[in-house]
Structure 1
Amino acid sequence: MLPWVKLATATAPDGDTLRLLRRGDEFSIRLDGGNELMNSRLGGSEEALATLALGRLSGRSAPRVLIGGLGMGFTLRAAQAIAPEGAQLVVSELVPDLVGWARTHMAPVFKECLSDPRVEVRPGDVLAEIREAEGTYDAILLDVDNGPDGLTRAGNDALYDERGLRSARRALTGGGVLAVWSAAPDAAFLKRLSACGFEASAHTIRAGRSKRGSRHTIWTAVRPGR
């Protein structure tokens, strides 16, 4: 088996060190302690984050979508594949180096997706983007940390508590969709979504594109209206 080769490192705003590794045509981003955050072979559930949400927006000719976390671009590319020509896809990425990696080391994965005129990448915290918006987005797709049960940043909890969810609801248009990726189910989070005024449901999705791999959870939460 081919060994992993370290291509680059980056420091997140909270001080964590991220490592980009490659083995053949496979890429992995890991914390310095060894925990794998994402892998180029396992993007099925991240793709479903986009397809489940945008599937609820049929009939909108120019949806505006906010994607929290660039990662390896699975969610972005899935959104591009189904979004209409008039869509706007805004990607908020906290670690600027990841954008650089997408254009260089991981170019075989990203290809030309960042050159799409519908795409705008904004370095920064997606929570700030959400709090500054009001009735702006038709969909907000969050693949940040491990989901409501955070792994890398305690500050990510503010996305998933009641205040964060109410901010997301306010940032959405009527009938807009908040979609949240998680490594594990969380019954309390589903109840919290409902308590914050969303019509919410949970979906269990395999990590891989086949019926293999670990199971992840995606919540879709619709703001009533329109």
Structure 2
Amino acid sequence: MPPTSYDTPEVLDRREGPFGEVVLRRQGGLLQIIANGCFLMDTSDGRSERLLVDAAFAALDGSRRPPVTGGHCRPAVLVGGLGVGFSLAHAAADSRWGRITVVEREPAVIDWHRSGPLSETTREALADPRTEIVRADLLDYINEAYDTFDALCLDIDNGPDWTVTEGNRGLYGPAGLASCARALRSGGVLAVWSAQPSAEFEETLRNAGFTQVRTEEVPVARGVPDVVHLAVRPG
């Protein structure tokens, strides 16, 4: 249930990671991840994380949706950011996906899933033979990937206009998007979660050569909707 006004957050773990302090805390019935004092995400909902994965699959061209059985390979997806695990768990629950690679730069977050409080969300997904967890900076990893994935589902910031660390800004600029395009196979989909829509980012995607650029909204109780930015690498 959501935290009430008198719930006091309980710190479960606090570590200095390669990019600063990361904290796992519990407030009411929720688990929350805080990075350098900035709230990242919690276990309250997960709708937008699930939409991130589903929208990416739906955006794949019809000819690129191979059957679960038969001689065709299922599409490979990269999930950028393990977070509280909703995206990974949702991808692993869908047999239409093939290889599921999760890139997470914080060792503490990986530990919290493997043997900590967040394991309840991702235990089955981590045991799935399709799943691979890679500890790396996402931009560094994507820079080295070529023609590898059918979909990139990125959720490492609060959006292109609100990054967790200054170094992440490069991911949403021309050079970072060029790396994303190279990492995708022809017709592959880039899906980027954001706490708010960004017309500027849509334009940057188009200028980077992506097509079918659009934004899907995730309704919220109050305020501006969460969104997923979608774009396709042309064939």
Same-fold status (TM-score > 0.5): yes
What is the identity, as a one-letter code, of the residue corresponding to 1:80?
A
Give runs of ≥4 in structure 1 deviating > 4 Å.
none
Task: Say whether residues 1:76 and 2:88 are aligned partners.
Answer: yes
Inter-CA distance 56–32: structure 2 relative to 1 (3 Å threshold): closer
What is the identity, as a one-letter code, of the residue corresponding to 2:30?
E
Partner of 2:214: 201
Task: Say whether residues 1:10 and 2:15 are aligned partners.
Answer: yes
Which of 199, 217, 231 matches 1:221? 231
Partner of 2:25: 21
Inter-CA distance 190–134: structure 2 relative to 1 (3 Å threshold): same
Q: Provide the secondary structure at the position in 1 that maps to 2:82.
A: coil
Task: Say whether residues 1:185 and 2:197 are aligned partners.
Answer: yes
Mapped to 1, the partners of 2:188 and 2:35 lie a distance apart of 34
Residues 123-170 of structure 1 show CA distances to partners (whole Å, capped at 9, x for unaligned) of 011112211111111001110111211332111011100011011111
When the two structures are aligned, how many residues end up with a matched partner? 218
What is the identity, as a one-letter code, of the residue corresponding to 2:156?
V
Mapped to 2, the partners of 1:90 and 1:7 lie a distance apart of 27
Q: Provide the secondary structure at the position in 2 that maps to 1:134.
A: coil
Partner of 2:139: 127
Q: Provide the secondary structure at the position in 2 that maps to 1:84.
A: coil
Which of 138, 153, 169 matches 1:157? 169
Q: Please say if residues 146 and 183 of structure 2, whose CA atoms lie closer than 8 Å, have aligned partners that are also in contact.
A: yes
Gaps of 5+ in 1: none
What is the identity, as a one-letter code, of the residue corresponding to 2:110?
V
1:49-198 counterparts in 2 under 5 A?
Answer: 49-57=52-60, 59-60=65-66, 61-84=73-96, 87-103=98-114, 104-198=116-210
Partner of 2:3: none
Partner of 2:51: 48
Per-residue deviation, 1:14: 2.5
Q: Provide the secondary structure at the position in 1 that maps to 2:202.
A: helix
Q: Please say if residues 150 and 156 of structure 1, whose CA atoms lie closer than 8 Å, have aligned partners that are also in contact.
A: no
Q: Please say if residues 54 and 79 of structure 1, whose CA atoms lie closer than 8 Å, have aligned partners that are also in contact.
A: no
Residues 96-129 of structure 1 show CA distances to partners (whole Å, capped at 9, x for unaligned) of 1101011212222323221111100000111122
Q: Please say if residues 103 and 134 of structure 2, whose CA atoms lie closer than 8 Å, have aligned partners that are also in contact.
A: yes
Q: Please say if residues 44 and 206 of structure 1, whose CA atoms lie closer than 8 Å, have aligned partners that are also in contact.
A: no
- TM-score scaled by structure 2? 0.86
Gaps of 5+ in 2: 1-5, 67-72
RMSD: 1.7
